[in-house]
Amino acid sequence: MEIILVSIFVVATIIGYFLINNVPSLLHTPLMSGMNALSGVSVLGALIATAEAMEKGYVVLGGIFGSIAIILAMINVVGGFAVTDRMLKMFVHKGEKHD
């Protein structure tokens, strides 16, 4: 299992690297805020850990820290995607007017 996980990490990193290489510097800010949103993927881990902590009886501590983690990750996900969308629309909107 560990080996599979590590290889997934390596493969994802390499593919990601080459795909991102194609993004023009024009779009680097939205790219970064979009990536930012993706790094909130830890929300998945936070959900699992929180639920398990509460099931194991750490209702208060697990609940508090778990909720903090979920909220933080979700701010990251939603804030990141929403602001990227807002930014990209600014680019495209102009483009359409231009045509």
Question: Does residue 57 touch other proteins according to CB under 8 A?
Answer: no
- DSSP 8-state code for residue 1: -
Q: What is the footprint of other proteins within residues 19-38 (CB under 8 A)?
A: 19-38
Q: What DSSP string describes 12-63?
A: HHHHHHHHHHTS-GGGHHHHHHHHHHHHTTHHHHHHHHHHHHHHTT-HHHHH
Q: How far apart are CA 88 and CA 42, in angstroms?
A: 25
To the nearest whole angstrom, how small is the minimum distance from the Cβ of residue 64 to other proteins? 10
To the nearest whole angstrom, how small is the minimum distance from the Cβ of residue 4 to other proteins? 8
Q: What is the footprint of other proteins within residues 60-79 (CB under 8 A)?
A: 62-63, 65-79
Q: What is the footprint of other proteins within residues 2-21 (CB under 8 A)?
A: 2, 5-6, 8-17, 19-21
